[in-house]
């Protein structure tokens, strides 16, 4: 097998940075070049194996900007540390592809890119929800095949589901889950039930206030409540959208029992992480329950999908497009680059709510997000500013 080609930018740079996929935009690259980095970017369109990444790291490498699709386990992290690596910057908000404990033991900061994909991913989740409810993929295929020209409009053709004033269930009420919920509640007057280890009082207050606003305009209020158990949510919701983190406790959170506990006409949406659902169980449930729909942006063994999934008309699938807008993906690239530069420069870690400031010309000298900053004892920006004042 021939080695994937690489493109080198700023070959005279004093600090070597490996980037395992071409990233959108130019600002991320200019950020690295301005920090005296020699930047080597893989031109491969396939997922690099750990062996290929090890070869790219070589004997001297200051930083890597990697991808969520890559398995960064202890041997590969040791290779980066041995080559003088001072940071692994993940081009993603998630980091379940990285052995964080091993990175911490090696003293390697791990960066991620939160704060720029909340609305983008939420919008994609809305799109998936309605694509399933209104059978958009089926309808598109029907028209393209010429079948619509053969039969024309029919009263019973591809009847879908009305979501107006129905009940939305979200599992995981973090930033994306909350934003998606607000879009559905505000736009489609859905009642909300959520399941999360912690109460989201801000979300509850918002829905309550919005419900009061509706009443002042002569409309019924919407409601929000926290389900004490997942089963309680599944029994109540017409749409179930999962937004929780992926860890040992949530792996296969949705399996045969959970799908069976949902309403027969429910819609299951996953734009978070594929292993949150048991894909084999989902295939079987959708096959035996044709009125049940699933809408997936992620897959259990991505990019491979479970056999039989693509044969099901009641499953909508897209190729991990949650963050796929130009603005968001370019913003993620800038954050990933700034994480790398900050760690190479010994800068503190940002601990203020406004991450978008890093996309401006006045970006602070800090790392936007280092997930193991506490474990490594890294200084924070606020503390650093107080010491200087």
Residue that is written with structure tokens 């070869």 in the block: 55
**Tokens standing for 246?**
């992926």
Residue that is written with structure tokens 């209104």 in the block: 134
Percent of the chain exceeding pLDDT 90 equals 95
Mark residue 167 as left, alpha or beta (left: phi above 0; alpha: psi -120 to 50; beta: remaining). beta
**Tokens standing for 328?**
């968001």
Q: Which residues are catalytic?
A: 273, 302, 320
Query: What's residue 389's pLDDT?
Result: 41
Task: Tell me which DSSP letter residue 247 carries.
Answer: S
Beta pairing class for 224-226 and 191-195: parallel
Yes or no: say if 237 and 265 are a contact pair by the CB < 8 Å rule. Answer: no
Helices (H), 3-61: 27-34, 50-57
Q: Catalogue all structural domains in the chain, each as residue range(s) with its CATH number.
A: 6-116+325-388 (3.40.50.720), 118-317 (3.40.50.720)
Residue 384 pLDDT greater than 60, yes or no: no
Percent of the chain exceeding pLDDT 70 equals 97
CA distance 79 to 60: 10
Query: What's residue 305's pLDDT?
Result: 97
Query: What's residue 295's pLDDT?
Result: 98
Number of H helices, E strands in the chain: 15, 13
**Tokens standing for 64?**
């890597």
**Tokens standing for 40?**
């080597």
37 φ/ψ angles, rounded to the nearest 5 degrees: -105, 135
Confidence of residue 372 (pLDDT cuts 50, 70, 90): very high
Exposure string for 186-216, b = 16+ CB within 10 A, e = fewer: eebbbbbbbbbeeebeebbebbeebbeeeee
Instruction: Give 297's strand partners.
Output: none
pLDDT in tens, 309-361: 999 999 999 999 999 999 999 999 999 999 999 999 999 999 998 999 999 98
For CA atoms 89, 119, 211, 231, the dihedral sign is negative
Q: How many residues does the chain have?
A: 389
pLDDT in tens, 249-280: 999 999 999 999 999 999 999 999 999 999 99
Task: Tell me which DSSP letter residue 229 carries.
Answer: S
Closest CA to 37 of 249, 345, 275: 345
284 φ/ψ angles, rounded to the nearest 5 degrees: -65, -40
Average pLDDT over residues 108-134: 97
3-state SS class at 111: strand
Q: Please, how many CA atoms are within 13 Å of residue 26, restricted to the half-sphere of its CB?
A: 0
Yes or no: say if 184 and 210 are a contact pair by the CB < 8 Å rule. Answer: no
Task: Tell me which DSSP letter residue 150 carries.
Answer: H
CA distance 289 to 260: 10
CA distance 99 to 111: 13
Q: Please give the mean pLDDT across all residues of the chain.
A: 96
pTM metric for this prediction: 0.91
Yes or no: say if 207 and 199 are a contact pair by the CB < 8 Å rule. Answer: no
């Amino acid at each position: 097998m021939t080695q994937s080609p690489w493109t080198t930018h700023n070959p005279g740079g004093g600090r070597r940075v490996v980037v395992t996929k071409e990233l959108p935009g130019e600002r991320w690259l200019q950020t690295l070049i301005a920090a005296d980095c020699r930047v080597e970017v893989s031109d491969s369109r396939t997922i690099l194996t750990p062996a290929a990444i090890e070869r790219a790291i070589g004997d001297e490498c200051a930083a890597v900007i990697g991808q969520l699709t890559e398995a960064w386990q202890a041997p590969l992290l040791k290779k980066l540390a041995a080559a003088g690596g001072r940071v692994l910057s993940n081009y993603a908000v998630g980091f379940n592809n990285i052995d964080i404990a091993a990175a911490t033991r090696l003293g390697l900061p791990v960066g991620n890119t939160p704060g720029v994909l909340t609305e983008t991913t939420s919008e994609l989740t809305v799109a998936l929800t309605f694509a399933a409810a209104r059978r958009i993929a089926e309808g598109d295929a029907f028209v393209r095949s010429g079948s619509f020209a053969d039969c024309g409009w029919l009263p019973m053709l591809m009847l879908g589901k009305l979501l107006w004033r129905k009940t939305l269930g979200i599992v995981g009420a973090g930033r994306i889950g909350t934003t998606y919920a607000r879009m559905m509640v505000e736009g489609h007057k859905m009642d909300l039930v959520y399941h999360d280890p912690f109460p989201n009082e801000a979300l509850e207050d918002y829905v309550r206030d919005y419900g009061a606003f509706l009443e002042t305009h002569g409309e019924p209020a919407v409601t929000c409540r926290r389900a004490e158990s997942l089963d309680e949510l599944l029994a109540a919701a017409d749409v179930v959208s999962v937004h929780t983190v992926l860890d040992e406790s949530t792996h296969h959170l949705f399996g045969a029992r959970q799908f069976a506990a949902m309403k027969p006409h429910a819609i299951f949406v996953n734009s978070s992480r594929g292993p949150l659902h048991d894909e084999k169980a989902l295939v079987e449930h959708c096959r035996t329950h044709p009125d049940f729909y699933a809408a997936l942006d992620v897959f259990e063994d991505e990019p491979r999908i479970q056999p039989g999934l693509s044969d099901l008309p009641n499953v909508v699938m897209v190729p991990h497009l949650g963050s796929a807008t130009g603005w968001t993906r370019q913003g993620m690239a800038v954050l990933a680059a700034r994480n790398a530069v900050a760690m190479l420069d010994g800068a503190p870690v940002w601990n203020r709510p406004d991450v978008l400031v890093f996309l401006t010309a006045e970006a602070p000298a800090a790392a936007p997000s280092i997930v193991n900053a506490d474990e490594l004892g890294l200084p924070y920006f606020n503390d650093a500013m107080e010491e200087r004042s």
